[in-house]
A and B are shown apart, each in its own frame.
Chain A
Amino acid sequence: MNDRARVDYWVRIAGAAAFFIILVTVVDVASRGSFLEPSNLVRVLRQITYNCILGVGQTFVIITSGIDLSVGSLVGLTGVVAALFANSVHLTGFPLIASTLIVAVAVGCIAGWVNALPVVKLNLPPFITTLAMLEMAVGAAFILSHGRPVALQSPDFQNTGIGSFLGGVTAALHLPSIPVPVVWMVAVIVVASILLNRTRFGRYVFAIGGNEEAARLAGINVVRVKTAVYMISGACAAIVGFLYMALFSSGSPQTGTGDELLESIAAVVVGGTSLMGGRGGVIGTFFGALLIGVLYNAMNLLNVDSYLQKVLLGAVILLAVVLDELRKRYLSR
């Protein structure tokens, strides 16, 4: 690493750390210590899980300088399909959970493949193709579920949705219990991070985002890599759909049609991934999601009016990206 890159790296880490420490201190003092309670911190992690997993998938797409607007509605669709599947098969326990997850992820991957097809074959803007998928997925979810949540008949998903990971161990150590979805989030981040930073595929994702023509002329199969990133995004949406289904014990067509899409993009961008493509990473996305989660949690603890919460969240997102841009300018002077 050369000097400037090293300085840049530490400025970013130090800047982000300072920002968090100030934020946490202020919030903790203002909330009279309830923010830093272990059980509250775990709550924050559980709350950001879904946004973070969506953001991880979105990160791959955005690094190729694309965008996936369909992730929110795919959460609803995959949740409905997964619930219908789970109710229709005669399985129990692990085989039921595993097969349901596979079905959900398959649906997400197929949707991602459909998203990518016009992008890679006709060079259409992903903004439009994934917008179309957003509409189609919402409609399909309502049709399949007849507009009502599909209640799970099997109780086997309870642990996945609201259970604790290694509950005995954490209890014995007097630690707060770790929700299973948080473990899912960590697993997704670890796998995605290795994929993005240590494999050929990941390198090609960056190369395509940085300069697609140069990547093509270097012999990279651009069509295949770009198709894969939309499938990864669809798969991440499916994992979220699956986790929500397990959490609510039902697959609802309305899940994911609220702020999920825009907050996933916000997490990616606040986390330092460039919408222009070519730069970014999933660890940053985790911190982006964490920042948003901490803000929401803090504002709830401080009884901030829920409409005002939106205004403040927007302002903080803007501030974060403006500060990041100023940092880049300062360093490239």
Chain B
Amino acid sequence: MRGIGKSFPGVRALSDVSLELSAGEVLVLVGENGAGKSTLMKILAGALAADEGEILIDGARVRIASPQEAQRLGIGMIYQEFTLVPQLNVPANVSLGAEPTRAGLIDAAAVRARAHRVLDELGLELPFDVPVSQLSVAAQQLVEIAKALATSARILVMDEPSAALSDREIERLFEIIRRLRAAGAGIVYISHRMEELPRIADRVVVLRDGKVVATREARGFSPDEIIAAMVGRRLDAHFPQLPEPAADAAIRLNVRGVRRAGIVNGVSFSVRAGEIVGLAGLIGAGRTEIVRAIAGADPVDGGEVMVDGEVLRSGRVGEAIAAGVAFITEDRKAQGLVLAMTVRENVTLAHLADFVDRDLLIDLARERAATVRMIDELQIRTPGTEQFVGNLSGGTQQKVVLAKWLLGNARVFLFDEPTRGIDVGAKSEIYKLMVELAEHGAAIVMVSSDLPEVLGMSHRILVVRGGRIAAEFARADATPDRVIAVATGAAA
């Protein structure tokens, strides 16, 4: 790609970006949200048209006007959001859009054969006859990769493929990537996880504000240097200092024997005021389900949740909120935000009753003032209170979610993957915010698949496996090895 430029109304998304990818190379593309990574890759995949610049494949200049043309040129794209049809099974998804036919009808045998071939190549075994919606998120991610490979892609673009995977699954993904590299494919890998880079990257390209600011061999390019290039300044530490909670701090959140058939099997723990407790574990271990039960998002079959000694009724989100529980969900687009609404409307959604006058009408001026206050406090990068949330970047959206919950007087914060898919700058702001909340006496539960994050941001770490708390570590005793050993069942 040479001299690529692209503008959106009011924004120059890319200017004069050049990128070179050799066969048998893994190029890792990093940059903060809004740096232009996704735009650049969408241009390569034919989903967007560049305003200027050219693309050459094997030395020949090509025009890529549609995703179909990209496919024909051997460019496979694995998007951050899944593009599988949930009701179809694995072979049907793998061949989707390029079904082998015989006499105009889909050749079912060939569809299965192709899926077999691709999965064999990847060294994978997946059930063929169930809808992909029944597979785990990690398995779906692998199907997504198989689908891209089915079209014999020579150039493979992966947009944060590891975001939804646990460590063991990431290991498998890397193995696949190495195998593809050995087979001569060129791979562009987009990631936010610094610790992955040395393990997978041959070369690293850093984008900032739509420009390439660094292109270097991965060897000898340290994470700190990469982050510095991304944000344009040096970050001293990833995680802020965690102040210890007061020795006599009261128990804020008390979870007693919570059960949900087959998913949560008797979970008990407590969190004191000012304490941050991290829930570690593999995907599907039941961490999200535990915090959902606390938040009242799902009804439970047994057990109790108490906030400041007050028992919450199961399955009542409204009551949990009234008792001071804030639940920052894993998937902000699906569960946390109404994208078609404005920043203001999202921020006040959970506490709208506070903005209603005696005449039962919403006081828009007061609502706007409160939103402006939150925008200032959290430094939410939005043109104003009336911007639609759907137009904001991932990290900014996450701040809108936080603003929604900070608006009330919540005392218990449940963070489920609070930094997934957001850039380094926004991440450290969220960490700082968590510390501030703890300092003001909040009890915090954080679910995270990012191990350094759990270890760096928790006073105590609970490792969840099979819907149970399999082990508890104090901050000082928790090492990545020990936590992983428990999470994977290698140790008790």
Q: Does B59 contact A (CB under 8 A)?
A: no
A251 to B215, CA, bound (A): 79
In angstroms, Cα B352 to Cα A255, docked, is 41
Given A2-B384, A2-B386, A216-B317, check contact A203 B362 (CB 8 Å): yes
**How many chain B residues touch the partner (CB < 8 A)?**
36
Question: Which among A199, A217, A219 has the highest number of chain B CB atoms within 10 Å?
Answer: A219
A1 within 8 A of B: yes
Q: Which residues B332-361 have CB closer than 8 A to chain A?
A: 334-341, 345, 349-350, 352-353, 356, 360-361
B404 at the interface (CB under 8 A from A): yes
Closest residue to B359 on the A side, CB-wise? A198
**For B336, what are the chain A residues with a Cβ–Cβ distance below 8 Å?**
214, 217
Q: Could you tell me the distance between the alpha carbons of A14 and B318 in the complex, rounded to whole angstroms?
A: 43
Per-position 1/0 for A1-20, Cβ under 8 A of B: 11111000000000000000
**Beta-carbon contact of B317 and A211 below 8 Å:** no
Q: What mask results when residues 299 to 331 of chain B are scored 1 for a CB within 8 Å of chain A, else 0?
A: 000000000000000000110111000010100
A207/B341 in contact, CB under 8 A = yes
Q: Does A333 contact B (CB under 8 A)?
A: yes
A296: interface (CB < 8 Å): no
Per DSSP, chain B at the interface is: mixed
> Are B386 and A218 neighbours in the complex by a CB distance under 8 Å?
no
Known: A1-B386, A203-B362. A221 touches B318 (CB 8 A): yes
Which residue of chain B is the closest to A194 with respect to CB atoms?
B361
Complex Cα–Cα for A94 and B317 (A) = 46
Residue from B329, B362, B364 in contact with A217 in the complex, judged by beta carbons closer than 8 Å: B329
Chain A: interface size category: 20 to 34
B295 contacts which of A209, A214, A217 (Cβ < 8 Å)? A217
Q: Which residues of A contact B220 (CB under 8 A)?
A: none
Contacts of A203 in B (CB 8 A): 345, 349, 352, 362
Q: Considering the chains assembled together, what is the distance between the CA atoms of A46 and B371 in angstroms?
A: 43
CB distance from A121 to the nearest CB of B (A): 14
Check: B388 CB closer than 8 A to any chain A CB: yes
Provide the residues of chain A in CB contact with B356, threshold 8 Å.
Answer: 199-200
Shortest beta-carbon distance, B311 to chain A, in Å?
18
Q: Is the CB of A278 within 8 A of B338?
A: yes
CA–CA, A211 to B340, complex, Å?
A: 9
- CB neighbors of B among A1-48 (8 A): 1-5
Within 8 A of B (CB), among A277-326: 278-279
Known A200-B353, A203-B349; contact A214-B386, beta-carbon cutoff 8 A: no
Query: How many Å lie between the Cα of A199 and that of B363 in the bound state?
Result: 9
A window 171-229: CB within 8 A of B = 194, 198-200, 203-204, 206-207, 209-211, 213-221
| Chain A residues within 8 Å of B21, by CB | none
Q: Is the interface of A mostly helix, strand, loop or mixed?
A: helix
Distance between A6 CB and nearest chain B CB, rounded to angstroms: 9
Q: Is the CB of A199 within 8 A of B360?
A: yes
Q: How far is the CA of A232 from the CA of B189 in the complex (A)?
A: 52
The verdict on B372 contacting chain A, using a C-beta distance below 8 Å, is no
Report chain B residues within 8 Å CB of A219: 317-318, 320-322, 350
Q: Using a CB-CB cutoff of 8 Å, which residues 402-419 of chain B contact chain A?
A: 404
Chain B residues, Cβ within 8 Å of A216: 297, 317
Q: In the complex the two chains form, is B386's CB within 8 Å of A198's CB? A: no
Residue of A nearest to B353 (CB): A200
Docked-complex contact A210 and B339, CB < 8 angstroms = yes
* In the complex, residue of chain B having the shortest beta-carbon distance to the beta carbon of A333: B9
**B383 lies within 8 A of chain A by Cβ:** yes
- Answer yes or no: B15 CB below 8 A from chain A CBs: no
B6 CB to closest chain A CB (Å) equals 12
Q: Is the CB of B341 within 8 A of A215?
A: no
Q: B18: CB under 8 A from chain A?
A: no
What CA separation (Å) do A203 and B336 show in the bound complex? 16
Question: What residues on A are CB-neighbors of B334 within 8 Å?
Answer: 211, 213-214
- For the complex formed, measure the closest distance between the CB of A220 and the CB atoms of chain B, giving whole angstroms: 7
Bound form: Cα–Cα A279–B317 in Å: 25
Kindly state the separation between the CA atoms of A5 and B387 in the bound complex, as whole angstroms.
Answer: 8
**A211: chain B residues within 8 A (beta carbon):** 334-335, 337-340
Give Cα A95 to B8, complex, Å: 62
Q: How far is the CB of A123 from chain B (nearest CB, A)?
A: 15
A210 to B340, Cβ gap below 8 A? Answer: yes
Contact B361 A214 (CB under 8 A): no
Of B338, B362, B364, the contact of A200 (CB 8 Å cutoff):
B362
Within 48-76 of A, Cβ neighbours of B (below 8 Å) are at none
Most buried by B among A2, A194, A199: A2
Most chain B C-beta atoms within 10 Å of own C-beta, residue among A209, A218, A279: A218
CB distance from B368 to the nearest CB of A (A): 11
Contact across chains for B341 and A206 when beta carbons are under 8 A apart: yes
Q: How distant is the Cα of A218 from the Cα of B383 in the complex, in angstroms?
A: 24
What is the CA–CA distance of A4 and B345 in the complex, to the nearest angstrom?
18
Report the Cα distance A52→B336, complex, angstroms.
35
Whether the pair B340, A217 counts as a contact (CB closer than 8 A) is: no
Which residue of chain B has its CB nearest to the CB of A7? B9
Chain A residue at smallest Cβ distance from B383: A2
Inter-subunit contact A199/B362 (CB<8 Å): yes
Contacts A206-B345, A207-B338 hold; do A218 and B350 have CB atoms under 8 A apart?
yes
Residues of A within 8 A of B341 (CB): 206-207, 210, 278
Closest to B8 in A: A333
Q: How far is the CA of A194 from the CA of B318 in the complex (A)?
A: 25
* CA–CA, A163 and B10, complex, Å: 55
Query: Which B residues between 272 and 295 are near A, CB-CB below 8 angstroms?
Result: 295
CA A278 to CA B340, docked complex, whole Å: 7
Closest CB of chain A to B167's CB: distance in Å?
Answer: 28
Nearest CB in chain B to that of A4: its residue: B9
Cross-chain contact A217 with B338 (CB below 8 angstroms): no
With contact pairs A199-B361, A279-B340 given, residues A217 and B327 touching in the complex (Cβ less than 8 Å): yes
Is the Cβ of B339 less than 8 Å from the Cβ of A5? no
Residue of B nearest to A216 (CB): B317
Closest CB in chain A relative to B393 CB, distance in Å? 15
From known contacts A200-B353, A203-B349, A219-B318, infer whether A210 and B327 are also in contact, taking CB-CB under 8 Å.
no
Cross-chain contact of B349 among A1, A5, A199, A220 (Cβ < 8 A): A220
The docked-state distance in angstroms from the alpha carbon of A242 to that of B440 is 59
A5 adjacent to B361 (CB under 8 Å): no
Minimum CB distance partner of B405 in chain A: A218
Q: How far is the CA of A278 from the CA of B390 in the complex (A)?
A: 13
Closest beta carbon of chain A to B323's beta carbon, Å: 11
B327 A215 Cβ-Cβ under 8 A:
no
- Report the Cα distance A221→B345, complex, angstroms: 17
Q: Mark B359-385, 1 if CB is under 8 A from A, else 0.
A: 011101000000000000000000110
- Complex A-B, nearest 4 residue pairs according to Cβ-Cβ distance, in ascending order: A210-B338, A218-B350, A219-B318, A219-B321
A-B contacts, 9 listed (Cβ < 8 Å)? A210-B340, A214-B334, A214-B335, A214-B337, A214-B349, A217-B295, A217-B317, A219-B317, A220-B318
| Chain A residues within CB distance 8 Å of chain B | 1-5, 194, 198-200, 203-204, 206-207, 209-211, 213-221, 278-279, 333
B residues apposed to A, CB below 8 Å = 8-10, 295, 297, 317-318, 320-322, 327, 329, 334-341, 345, 349-350, 352-353, 356, 360-362, 364, 383-384, 386-388, 404
**Additional pairs, 4, CB under 8 Å, beyond known A5-B386, A206-B340, A207-B349:** A3-B10, A203-B345, A210-B338, A219-B320
